Amino acid sequence: MNKKIVVTGGSGRFGNILKSHKTNHKILFPGKKELNILNVKSIEKYLKQKKPDILIHLAGLSRPMKVHEQNISKSIDLNIIGTANVTKACEKKNIKLIFFSTNYVYPGISGNYKETDPLLPVNHYAWSKLGAEASVQLYKNSLIVRVCMTEKPFVHKKAFGNVKTSFAYHDEVVRILFKILNQKGILNVGGKSRIIYEFAKKDNRFVKKIYLKKNSNLGMPFDSSINISKLKKIIKL
């Protein structure tokens, strides 16, 4: 059945890929003036007008990672309070909420993390996303997507040769998204677990291999790979 879907943060990197995807669903991408996540009344007004079946919450603060340490007020406002506001508005109208979190909420030590594994965010950004998750968890008509994704082609000139993760490209995640609209709870979404350099060199043969030092202050985990067995069962990969 076709759905009416509202997407916050549609002007971001992933949002732009989502906009270009052909679908029979009716998708709305309100700007900040139409739907301000820092103003509950603004969200409620928009949802009352549009009456969507689903709200996909992408809006928030991500890059650069340092901003979450340098300006914690902005990180708290946009990622934690903004998400709480969206959750409250969705709960009031019983609108399904799909929230994009991050695989960085896991400890990033042993990898292959399942949705039920203990959490320990690796940096300020991840803490802000876990704070956001807390509000979404209170609302049962929701899905938390712990996603591991990146741009295509790999945009960086350097890639770590000793850091493992589960990257999927944005366009792959868009295709997955439309297959999980009816899911609830928590779901890991990403690709095959591998060293970042091995992933990057597939599409960028000029990428340079570098290594993450153990005492690095980059807030980068050595192994944030995720177990996507649950996802595979749902979409029959």
Chain segment 17-59, per-residue pLDDT in tens: 999 999 999 999 999 999 999 999 999 999 999 999 999 999 9
Burial of 41 (0-12, 13-18, 19+ CB in 10 A): exposed
Could you tell me what percent of the chain has a pLDDT over 90? Answer: 88
Which helix (H) or strand (E) segment is 16 a member of?
helix 13-19
Q: How many CA atoms lie within 13 A of 50 on its CB side?
A: 24
pLDDT of 63 higher than 90 = no
Please tell me the distance from the alpha carbon of residue 23 to that of residue 113, in angstroms, as a whole number. 31
How high is the mean pLDDT of the chain? 95
Amino acid identity for residue 227 in this structure: N
What's the pLDDT score for residue 68? 86
pLDDT of 237 higher than 70 = no
User: Which overall architecture, per CATH, does domain 4-235 show?
Assistant: 3-Layer(aba) Sandwich (3.40)
Would you place residue 102 in the very low, low, confident or very high pLDDT band (cuts 50, 70, 90)?
A: very high
pLDDT of 66 higher than 90 = no
Phi, psi angle pair for 180, to nearest 5° = -120, 15
In 161-200, DSSP assigns E strands to 164-165, 168-169, 185-189, 194-195
